[in-house]
Structure 1
């Protein structure tokens, strides 16, 4: 809400009597404000603790070559803060919001301190609201509540600052419900008023959050359907006299165009928007790390890529008579780095870098060439194979014969400009700190696990360790794509009734990513953290090279 500045106490008695009368008369006859109220919403999503400008950039039109694109550096909190200030400067009323995943899966610079630096960075740049995303639950409910309320970490204490004040902005979680109390974990919505017109911001994450985070992190919580949640809230908001409704949703879609276009939009966001109550005026989305400005079923929908590389500049025209949104303008702005960075953000980063440097810069090995997440036609990737191999070697003592790694747990390619690998580069690949679990599965359960890589139309391939190979058949129906005779370990077909020791991380072991077969594993033995296993594997080799592809084969029949 815009600040209200009160008059000085008893200021009237210091005016000459005639002046006071004239002032009162002027106030009595002053015309009421007319015309629409303009509100600027600045939105981003999936920041993931990227305080520094991330590698790569954003493709934008090349002014020197019409019709061509050029990639420009973008993002980083010092530049994001500058752009937010610049975009606010042109608006009488503004609010800054996030559609989730501010924290979690963060670089070491933020993650080492449990993302406290990111919360402070957001406080400094004036974030107002954040709809929780799935990664906000990476360290569990209690830790997320600490992010809002402040206080030192219960185990590590206050490692970044002597005290942690928590978020000055408000977390929202309309569809995250405590199963015991029936209350939402955070408020379902926030209301802001602009020249007498109330605007509601409903915030929530995708209903599938429990399947993509460690189950322990969401124990005791219920994640309701996104559309049902919003549509139940609409009558309550209208009863409060609110007609202007904005949804901040950590779920999204994909499109083929540039960051400021909407070509072939697809994904969950399309169905969600179509089913929302028509009272919803605007949807600000996230989760898919895409950028788009769309009109879906007549409703404006935005998303702002990832890591603070893009800001959605959204102008709402509010009608005084109806108190509703009369018009919406969407404009995605690239957070270029050719502007002056904010000094307070630079100081925050310098503080974090000084504290993290001894760990981050520790040399762990050498690398001959980049090892990437690029999938082969079959579904294996060099980086996934490397990580699975590391996990297998680290758990041989527990009897491990096979290791599986989830592709979603690998957040970046492994590379080095000077050929020297440092700890920070390994952490960037695997930032979650998952513990390895070795358990016993039958050959039939392993085949069922491989079949569960297809969840609807989505293929989510597990990465596999050396010595394990299989083929899958694209033309066959779900549940029958794997021929057990083509699943081999060290060249020998798996016996369906055989017993095999299999290593996965604790996220997968608890059924994460929909791989519920792994919950049936017996005789679990806990091992190293995944990052520890990767470091040990790198250190055991003179020079790291990309593993050969071909452990997984796609066949068209």
Structure 2
């Protein structure tokens, strides 16, 4: 069952080693239910972005809708029942990029729900920095928002009742992290266990530059080694790393086997090298960031195979990690570590306590959330689309041009990560099929980024399109969503920037010439060079007064009615050869 808040608070206060307890002779079974990348999605996400692919007994695949924190809490209660040595852990991005239900109150609802759910500790992720370090510290320690005040005046926000860990995040010029690098607790059966928490060193490329310009994000491996040594000197032998860095999935199904060809056969990306190189004193890794579910093994520097796990995003699955601790050494028996991801059935039972927390916050934003802002004739897929150019990206960028024509905008470009959801035709509440509520529009563009209109030369526009396939985007392509004035072709058989066929690029039907000037609208994240699109930082004559969220809602209101709903776009502005 979920542990009462008083015990969680006591554990936070008792980070220093407790007196040695008499340990049992038999190996001690430990459970770590693990979460990551919730992004404030307290209710299930509609459409493909909220689905999980699973393999049926006959080997075919099916898609099932999943998620919901009250449903997740009920599953965790059941999984933890009868487990005396159990700690619920997170691997970052629990908040940030959140839907209206949480974002309207600066993610305090999500922290409340995680407290009620029984979260014991989490690392930070890149999205914990979406509003800068001061806001992250407020989320951790409490206090009212500096501009909007107290969400509930009679009950000022008390902060998280679980520790946030940020072992590789420092203020520039300083060595100590802005939040604790690790957390030590003593299990009821006696042994101590330490958790080191870190986020990806690439956070500056994933967060608006002004919010992280005073911070340094250090390489993960040296920081893991440093704090593993510190824990070892304190006599803590059982060490778990919570790191917000991840891998693509091993296959299309959420529980496909990652180790069919040996250790780490399907684990890719930087997390593989982190897990392979980090201190042999670390016993296992709980990861996040890639939004994919996997259970893999990696051979570490001492030759031992170590477990590396991740749950899917948005509360669609959780990972049940289990291992034993040797009572004589108080260290993890590494070969005993096992894990499995479990789907959170959105139609499953809800935990009543967590359900009430979510429902209470829901009631506060209901009037705004349920307001109709538009009408659609079918599903407009964005986050859940399998295509590089998405049907939802077309109206989002067209709306941005419409909102910034007063600044001379000719075209708009949007990073694909800026869209966090889909617009689904079938109603999720009482609004009726095809009705888009403000909450649904907000879920698509929850960052409330400012729109910046700038002047780019023809060369700069072409370079922006090349940067979709080069630099940090060469191995993981980020195709920008684009408004209707822009057309071009790419050849995906080529490599890097050469994929762009520059002679096919047209604006309003005319070839782009080096000396041309174009007024281009992007969000503030891209305007500062985010996601490796550094050319936007050189744009000149900047102006802007509205946000991406507002422009999208206004566009839907202006161009759709109950009798003339917005049609599903063909998404054919980019030709992929």
Shared fold, TM over 0.5: yes
Match of 2:14 in 1: none
Structure with larger Rg: 1
User: Could you say if the C-alpha distance between residues 173 and 72 of structure 1 is closer, same or farther in structure 2, counting changes exceeding 3 Å?
Assistant: same
Whether the aligned pair in 2 keeps the contact of 1:160 and 1:352 (CA below 8 Å) is: no
Give the Cα–Cα distance (whole angstroms) in 1 for the partners of residues 499 and 381 of structure 2: 27
Give the Cα–Cα distance (whole angstroms) in 1 for the partners of residues 513 and 83 of structure 2: 68
| SS of 1:330 mapped into structure 2 | strand
Give the Cα–Cα distance (whole angstroms) in 1 for the partners of residues 374 and 456 of structure 2: 34
Matched, 1:193 2:195: no
- The within-5 A match list for 1:94-493 is 94-160=86-152, 162=154, 163-194=156-187, 195-253=189-247, 254-256=249-251, 258-263=253-258, 264-297=266-299, 298-326=305-333, 327-337=336-346, 340-373=349-382, 379-417=388-426, 418-454=433-469, 455-493=473-511
User: Could you say if the C-alpha distance between residues 311 and 474 of structure 1 is closer, same or farther in structure 2, counting changes exceeding 3 Å?
Assistant: closer
User: Could you say if the C-alpha distance between residues 375 and 367 of structure 1 is closer, same or farther in structure 2, counting changes exceeding 3 Å?
Assistant: closer
Give the Cα–Cα distance (whole angstroms) in 2 for the partners of residues 470 and 71 of structure 1: 33
| SS of 2:496 mapped into structure 1 | coil
TM-superposition CA deviations, 1:170-200 (whole Å, max 9, x none): 0000111111433201111111223443221
Of residues 243-252 and 471-480 in structure 1, the stretch that sits farther from structure 2 once superposed is 471-480
Give the Cα–Cα distance (whole angstroms) in 2 for the partners of residues 138 and 428 of structure 1: 16
Of residues 318-327 and 115-124 in structure 1, the stretch that sits farther from structure 2 once superposed is 318-327
| SS of 1:459 mapped into structure 2 | coil
User: Could you say if the C-alpha distance between residues 496 and 104 of structure 1 is closer, same or farther in structure 2, counting changes exceeding 3 Å?
Assistant: same
- The within-5 A match list for 1:19-98 is 33-55=24-46, 56-60=50-54, 62=56, 66-68=58-60, 70-98=62-90
Whether the aligned pair in 1 keeps the contact of 2:151 and 2:157 (CA below 8 Å) is: no
Matched, 1:525 2:547: no
Give the Cα–Cα distance (whole angstroms) in 2 for the partners of residues 484 and 355 of structure 1: 51
TM-superposition CA deviations, 1:49-78 (whole Å, max 9, x none): 12123334434455xx64455555533122
Give the Cα–Cα distance (whole angstroms) in 1 for the partners of residues 483 and 51 of structure 2: 32
State the 1:232 CA deviation.
2.3
User: Could you say if the C-alpha distance between residues 553 and 40 of structure 1 is closer, same or farther in structure 2, counting changes exceeding 3 Å?
Assistant: same
TM-superposition CA deviations, 1:3-44 (whole Å, max 9, x none): 79xxxxxxxxxxxxxxxxxxxxxxxxx997312222211111
| SS of 1:371 mapped into structure 2 | coil
Note the aligned Cα RMSD (angstroms).
2.3
State the 1:117 CA deviation.
0.6
State the 1:154 CA deviation.
1.0
| SS of 2:148 mapped into structure 1 | coil
| SS of 1:82 mapped into structure 2 | helix
Give the Cα–Cα distance (whole angstroms) in 2 for the partners of residues 434 and 112 of structure 1: 14
Give the Cα–Cα distance (whole angstroms) in 1 for the partners of residues 488 and 23 of structure 2: 74
Aligned residues: 527
1:539 to 557, 561, 564: 557
Give the Cα–Cα distance (whole angstroms) in 2 for the partners of residues 522 and 385 of structure 1: 25
Match of 2:570 in 1: 548
| SS of 1:293 mapped into structure 2 | strand
User: Could you say if the C-alpha distance between residues 243 and 51 of structure 1 is closer, same or farther in structure 2, counting changes exceeding 3 Å?
Assistant: same
| SS of 2:98 mapped into structure 1 | coil
Give the Cα–Cα distance (whole angstroms) in 2 for the partners of residues 197 and 331 of structure 1: 24
Give the Cα–Cα distance (whole angstroms) in 2 for the partners of residues 423 and 255 of structure 1: 36
Whether the aligned pair in 1 keeps the contact of 2:468 and 2:480 (CA below 8 Å) is: yes
User: Could you say if the C-alpha distance between residues 257 and 220 of structure 1 is closer, same or farther in structure 2, counting changes exceeding 3 Å?
Assistant: same
Whether the aligned pair in 2 keeps the contact of 1:453 and 1:515 (CA below 8 Å) is: yes
Give the Cα–Cα distance (whole angstroms) in 2 for the partners of residues 339 and 236 of structure 1: 43
| SS of 1:485 mapped into structure 2 | strand
State the 1:238 CA deviation.
1.7
Give the Cα–Cα distance (whole angstroms) in 1 for the partners of residues 484 and 407 of structure 2: 17
State the 1:316 CA deviation.
2.0
- Where does the alignment leave 5 or more consecutive residues of structure 1 unmatched? 5-29
User: Could you say if the C-alpha distance between residues 427 and 197 of structure 1 is closer, same or farther in structure 2, counting changes exceeding 3 Å?
Assistant: same
Whether the aligned pair in 2 keeps the contact of 1:283 and 1:301 (CA below 8 Å) is: yes
State the 1:483 CA deviation.
4.1
Give the Cα–Cα distance (whole angstroms) in 2 for the partners of residues 545 and 160 of structure 1: 41
Give the Cα–Cα distance (whole angstroms) in 1 for the partners of residues 238 and 571 of structure 2: 53
State the 1:339 CA deviation.
5.1
- Where does the alignment leave 5 or more consecutive residues of structure 2 unmatched? 9-20, 259-265, 300-304, 427-432
Give the Cα–Cα distance (whole angstroms) in 2 for the partners of residues 552 and 422 of structure 1: 29
Per the normalisation by structure 2, the TM-score is: 0.87
Give the Cα–Cα distance (whole angstroms) in 1 for the partners of residues 54 and 538 of structure 2: 49
Matched, 1:510 2:531: no
Whether the aligned pair in 2 keeps the contact of 1:100 and 1:286 (CA below 8 Å) is: yes
Per the normalisation by structure 1, the TM-score is: 0.90
User: Could you say if the C-alpha distance between residues 176 and 366 of structure 1 is closer, same or farther in structure 2, counting changes exceeding 3 Å?
Assistant: same
Give the Cα–Cα distance (whole angstroms) in 2 for the partners of residues 143 and 243 of structure 1: 34
Give the Cα–Cα distance (whole angstroms) in 1 for the partners of residues 45 and 509 of structure 2: 42
